[in-house]
Structure 1
Amino acid sequence: MGHYVVEGGHKISGEFTVHGSKNACLPILAATLLAEDEVVLENCPNISDFNQTIAILERLGCTITQENRTYTIDTSKIDSVEIKEETVQKMRSSILFLGALLGRTKKAILGYPGGCTIGKRPIDLHLNSFEKMGICIEEEDGFLHCSTSHILGYHIYLPYPSVGATENILLLAVKAEGATVIHNAAQEPEIVALAEFLRRCGGEIYGAGTSTIFIEGVTKLHGTNFCFPFDRIEATTLLCASAMTGGDIALAGVEISHMSATLDVFEKIGCIWQQKGNWLTMEPPKQLYSNLTIKTGPFPLFPTDAQPFFASLLTLAEGTCMIIETVFEQRFRHCKELCKMGAQIDINGQRAKIYGNAHLMGTEVYGTDLRGTAALILAGFAAEGTTTIHGAEFVERGYEDITGMFTSLGGQIQLLESCHESK
């Protein structure tokens, strides 16, 4: 396991092309199992979650070739329906292989998924929906054994617009007999990307990006070419870094309609942003201002994945901010580490009150999840002196060469091997 060493006092500024989306690529990689011809995927991010998902596909019997950021995936010789427990425990997105494998083979064996320790993320919504669609599910020795003779279309009413459940139902329903309607579906851009990929493969899907998605099942899907959209969370990370350090930044490849909630907050705290063709530019003010409330929620509300970055950012702003977390109950774990650096944050259940004008000082801190660890790196850029951030393995799940990315923008950051395990 590695750790980052960050030297504060350097502006994050310049031009950068945002990488392909982590949250879009993982369900689409699972969806390639449904296509019975070659699939060509472009703009693939070089992150550990992507690479581990590719490894799962190879273990299932897929043939994969790579040329730079383009992957060609041939699923015609799938010879396994089991994903071993140790693989599943590394990342939660592996649950999406249930819908894809069942759609392709009508069988799947999967251990319970892992991922970041940011709170309970039960898979009941997935399994309950699958049972209504004709899937028999049995648990044995920590594994889910799923099978069916017929995938049946059904009206699914989700009690919460879960992204993962919406994606998994899409993967199953596209091969169902008859029509499936997902009510209270997730509306995230990554849902739209998955639906578009399946449509290009021959799927009949309507309404993606709204709260009601209609899927007419088909008997066969074919291969296609698909280019992954930009990573809106990576873009937000970079914008927060520039705002915290006083640097101007320009990001290529950004679709601002995917970032309305975060851009609205940037505007409220004094940042000036503009869209210029394919570029998003942002100029921070000399003094950031707070006195606002941020409440996370499903898209198009403020994204929970961006919340830790703004917690870091708002420690520097003039005023007091309240962040209300409605998605994950352990999203504030990084705040304890920010307080070690001089931040003043009071946590009360799912609310964090952040007192601004903090003078952050470099010290040794420990990340425990992907976005929280990235937020500590941002704090390091804004702090006086040197900050050591443990938890590189979390960051590598969702950021491609984060040291190279920030170094190209003026940051001083190194990745070093740890001599002891991170907490």
Structure 2
Amino acid sequence: MKYYSTNKQVAPASLQEAVVKGLAADRGLFMPEKIKALPTEFYENIDKMSFQEIAYVVADAFFGEDIEADTLKAIVYDTLSFDAPVVPVSEGIYSLELYHGPTLAFKDVGGRFMARLLSYFIKKQGQKDVKVLVATSGDTGSAVANGFLGVEGIHVYVLYPKGLVSPIQECQFTTLGQNITALEVDGTFDDCQALVKSAFMDEELNAKLNLTSANSINVARFLPQAFYYFYAYAQLKKLGKEKEMVVCVPSGNFGNITAGLFGKKMGLPIKRFIAANNRNDIFLNYLNTGVYTPKPSVSTIANAMDVGDPSNFARVLDLYGESWEAIKGEISGCSYDDEQIAETVAATYKATGYLLDPHGACGYKALQEQLQPGETGVFLETAHPAKFLETVENIIGEKVEIPQKLQEFMKGTKQSIELGKDFAGFKSYLMGK
């Protein structure tokens, strides 16, 4: 299958080129030329299938033309060595818990899948010494770093905004060493993302280094996140609750919700989506006005969503032919400030005993406000609450148990390199590698 650029100024690329390059030469994002509708029998039998079996069918629709069946199946099954259960929280509202992987965040699937797929293509090309650049607002860095840890021939550079990720998130990618380097940028996530994109467009840098990206701008990172939505539907079907399914996605860089929209295009019976924002409400403003106006991000307690210019908005536009009316027809929005997020975490914990993280709280509150009679709501609980330990403990007034996986990360020693947000300094650093 060929992959075209959202800017449509360059020739379509193969899957291998799209994965290895990450970003198209015209600065556009790669999109698959076809989105295959899955057969009716698949949806009829989906509740009898395992997470891995479901994911393989979905993966085959995108990658099956370019990767041998046994290899793709091995990649999928190795990626999904953990579950993503649907858990009832209140009447008609379920949490899809996406934090049961190695770093306790939803990006474990995309990070692990991409690490394996990129490694496969690099070996196939006979390439060595590939540099992976990834900007993170929190969980991407840990998922990608741990997915690539120890992978021969690949070195990962994680760019993160100084002081704007939680301490536990930070220790998950700054304590690893080996082939992982953490770059602490004196700026915001948007600054980190701009540095990565500028690096891909710099001819001198690319002439010297083999660069690729592991952000959700890479098709191998965001597409596997579609697996979750199919599995959520399967679990609801087992419960007889799959009719009128509404999915709410806490949204930052919009890779996750874009993967869900792809699932709907493949025939997944999701009635509609809600994009839940924190104070960084660029998408909500677009829904209200029809005008996309990026602006500098602001810091919130839901830090992984602190994005002022979401990259994957370009894919959403492309998916709907740049029709504002079509996008509004399938996605609604909302925005919450820190006080509202904290109130939701506290009230939900008190009423139900279910502990939300600040991002999941945005999703849950949106369903409380927007779910209609007869609909079943699913919100994505994207990370374990303990990853935001101080914030969550201050909200509920209780100690939160830290999972063993996180405790192990916290034992390491921080290793990071401080950089400014200017591209010249970043380029100089990379050129010295």
- Rg larger in 1 or in 2? 1
TM-score when normalising by structure 2: 0.26
Structure in which a larger fraction of residues adopt helix: 2
Structure in which a larger fraction of residues adopt strand: 1
TM-score when normalising by structure 1: 0.27
